[in-house]
Chains A and B, each alone.
Chain A
Amino acid sequence: MTAVTVPASPRVEAMAARRLWAQRGTLLVLLYSAILMLFLIVPLLVVLWRTASSGQLGPYLANDVVVSALRLSILTTTIALTSSVVFGTPLAYLLARGRFPGRGVIDTLVDLPMVLPPAVAGVALLLTFGRRGLLGGWLGALGIEVGFTTAAVVLAEVFVAAPFYVRAAKTGFEGVDRELEYVSGSLGASSLRTFLRVTVPLAMPALLGGAVMTWARALGEFGATIMFAGNFPGTTQTMPLAIYVAMERDLPAALVLASILIVASFVVLLGFKTLARARVSAVP
């Protein structure tokens, strides 16, 4: 066996150099990714680590502030999510399927709360539903007081979070082949039956994704809530507000609440992704 060594031609050398650069490129991609990953993860891990090492997790799970904020957040986000789905599904379907003048404008208006600062939402809600607001006077005459109540928390959450559901649901409905709806109709199914048996099941991954985003956004709602609903323990002090207050007075309470939010959000997101993947492989 004879080994033949051929002197590397300039072209081969150039190729090798390019490959090295390509490898450096790969390294750069990994490096940049790692930096951002660490930036996103480390602070959250710090919160969890500080909570665990403080030894206060057990006692504070029964703490009044923690328990009432947790209970209030669960209650308000559940109602906010339900209202978003109940009212947002028809709107999303209309935006996806309807052809009417001004559709583009309405579509944009629905998206607006997603990009507006929550403080703007807070001002807008106060000026509309507050005691001296546009509707507040009428509501007051009927004996309904909205501002600085739990209802205000829900309104603030729906205002900022519902657009996430509408957006996702609209995209989901648009992705359903209209021919399938026509076929369903030709087989005698009413519009409602077609919607429930064909359109909704096929759009389900998008609907679930939108619901998760809406729930997460409602859970984290802070700015609009504190302006419009105030910060009263038991009635309007949701978890983010309680964390804000506790950071000054009772750090362990803030840590416990923050940890609960982190863990709960992670579990829900991961669960949704797993579920969505399972559905995607079940439905082409």
Chain B
Amino acid sequence: MLEVAIEKRLRDFELRTAFSADDELIVLFGPSGAGKSVTVRSIAGIITPDAGSIKIDGRPVFDASRGIDVPIQKRHVGYVPQHYGLFPHLSVGENVAYGLAGIPADRARARVSDMLGRLDLAGYERRRPRELSGGQQQRVALARALITEPRVLLLDEPFSALDSMLRARLRRDLLTIHRQFPVTTIFISHDLGEAYTLADKIAVYDRGSVLQVGSRDDIFRRPASGRVARLTGASNVFPARLVARAEPHGRGVACDEPERGHGLRVQLAGTDSILAAEDPGGLLQASVSICIRPEAIVVEDLSTADRPNRIRARVLDHVPGATSVTLFCEASASLAGQGRIEFEAVIPAERFRILKLANGAECVLHLPPADLFVLPDDESNG
């Protein structure tokens, strides 16, 4: 169990972070320079925060008000920096045995060879780190950290310099190892896909603050604010007005997918479109934001325009990708005198062709209620 609540004044911003984690894999996710690395280095004991406390298994390793600052040697954290930090002048075996000083040589040797075996590194004992592949280097770094039985494992963007195919394999390796050694693991990433694949829990960072901490589903399906929605890829965030809310367990309002009973009706600001949406629960003011991920939008031809949760739009521009096309569309439903409402939608390349879409083409955007989230209004709207 790790509990972090710290503040640190930095050159460009002030870091304020608070989260806790059990024996799970928590990803600190956010843009570069948001304070993720400072958090990890504070937990490791490399950086001293200005205020707050850090507890590992209930024991404070840092507490500004009580003057506690346990040195890095005594924190029992496994620290794996970018590029793994393997000792280049030591063999794989010596690297892994590094943290076993003070243990009789024969027992240390047995533990090293056991650990190398478990991480699929048997036979590499005498190699130098530079003779290994990226995947093997990662496993050596993890073996070296895990052999000391740390209570927290810290991974500071270990994949940042690697190509995407290797990253995918290393993620799988990391998950396998995490299941084998279920210890609180903190992983820094600014890659959305990586965060989603790895995380039991995600902490979304932005400019020194933790905006939201929650399970992967919470973050991706129930973003706490428009900012979180945008950071996690739900780039369509619009102001809206709450017009109706079904009673809990009531009959709900009729809509096109009645079995789900999506409880909210919202009016997209600047239009007269009324949309059905998920009820996130909790208190909501009349003025809200709605958001939807680009890949959740279904693009259809004009024949469905009158069905519920549809918005007529015109294609402004499109960017073809390898297997999908990103469309930038303007809602045609805008009321006179209101600003433009632009949607970003990602559709399969196949569908783009079938619908014969092009810049300037008319189409219908289907916003499925299950993927349309209502957020409390926040200042980052618009």
Residues on A lying within 8 angstroms of B by beta carbon are 177, 179-180, 182-190, 193, 197-198, 201-202, 282-284
Whether, in the assembled complex, B89 has its beta carbon less than 8 Å from a beta carbon of chain A, the answer is yes
Contacts of B46 in A (CB 8 A): 182
In the complex, the answer to whether A183 meets B89 with C-beta atoms within 8 Å is no
- A180, A182, A189, A198: the one contacting B101 at CB < 8 Å is A189
- A180, A189, A201, A283: the one contacting B85 at CB < 8 Å is A180
In the complex, the answer to whether A183 meets B81 with C-beta atoms within 8 Å is yes
Name the CB-closest residue of B to A180: B85
Name the CB-closest residue of A to B72: A185
Contacts of A190 in B (CB 8 A): 73
A283 to B87, CA, bound (A): 10
Q: Considering only CB atoms and an 8 Å cut-off, how many residues of chain B contact the other chain?
A: 28
In the complex, the answer to whether B88 meets A183 with C-beta atoms within 8 Å is no
In the complex, the answer to whether B99 meets A188 with C-beta atoms within 8 Å is yes
The answer to whether A182 and B89 touch (CB under 8 A), given A187-B148, A189-B98, A189-B101, is no
Whether, in the assembled complex, B79 has its beta carbon less than 8 Å from a beta carbon of chain A, the answer is yes
Contacts of B145 in A (CB 8 A): 186-187
A182 to B145, CA, bound (A): 12
In the complex, the answer to whether B73 meets A183 with C-beta atoms within 8 Å is no
In the complex, the answer to whether A188 meets B73 with C-beta atoms within 8 Å is yes
Those of B76-119 within 8 Å (CB) of chain A: 77-83, 85, 87-89, 98-99, 101
Q: How far is the CB of A180 from chain B (nearest CB, A)?
A: 5
Whether, in the assembled complex, B234 has its beta carbon less than 8 Å from a beta carbon of chain A, the answer is no
Contacts of B99 in A (CB 8 A): 187-189
What are the 6 tightest A-B residue pairs by CB atom distance, in nearest-first order? A187-B99, A186-B79, A185-B72, A179-B81, A183-B85, A284-B130
A-B CB contacts (within 8 Å), total count: 61
In the complex, the answer to whether B81 meets A202 with C-beta atoms within 8 Å is no
- A182, A187, A193: the one contacting B81 at CB < 8 Å is A182
Whether, in the assembled complex, B314 has its beta carbon less than 8 Å from a beta carbon of chain A, the answer is no
In the complex, the answer to whether A179 meets B73 with C-beta atoms within 8 Å is no
Q: How far is the CB of A25 from chain B (nearest CB, A)?
A: 39
A190 to B71, CA, bound (A): 10
- A180, A184, A186, A198: the one contacting B75 at CB < 8 Å is A186
User: Can you list 23 A-B pairs, Cβ within 8 angstroms, ordered by A?
Assistant: A179-B81, A179-B85, A180-B87, A182-B44, A182-B72, A182-B81, A183-B85, A183-B87, A185-B45, A185-B73, A186-B72, A186-B73, A186-B77, A186-B78, A186-B79, A187-B144, A188-B99, A188-B148, A189-B73, A189-B98, A193-B101, A282-B89, A283-B88
- A182, A189, A193, A284: the one contacting B79 at CB < 8 Å is A182
A197 to B148, CA, bound (A): 18
In the complex, the answer to whether B87 meets A198 with C-beta atoms within 8 Å is yes
Q: How far is the CB of B52 from chain A (nearest CB, A)?
A: 21
Name the CB-closest residue of B to A183: B85
A67 to B12, CA, bound (A): 66
Most chain B CB within 10 A, of A183, A282, A284, is at: A183
Contacts of B82 in A (CB 8 A): 179
Q: How far is the CB of B140 from chain A (nearest CB, A)?
A: 12
A90 to B337, CA, bound (A): 73
A187 to B146, CA, bound (A): 10
Name the CB-closest residue of A to B94: A197
A179 to B83, CA, bound (A): 10
Contacts of B75 in A (CB 8 A): 186
A179 to B88, CA, bound (A): 12
- A180, A186, A188: the one contacting B44 at CB < 8 Å is A186
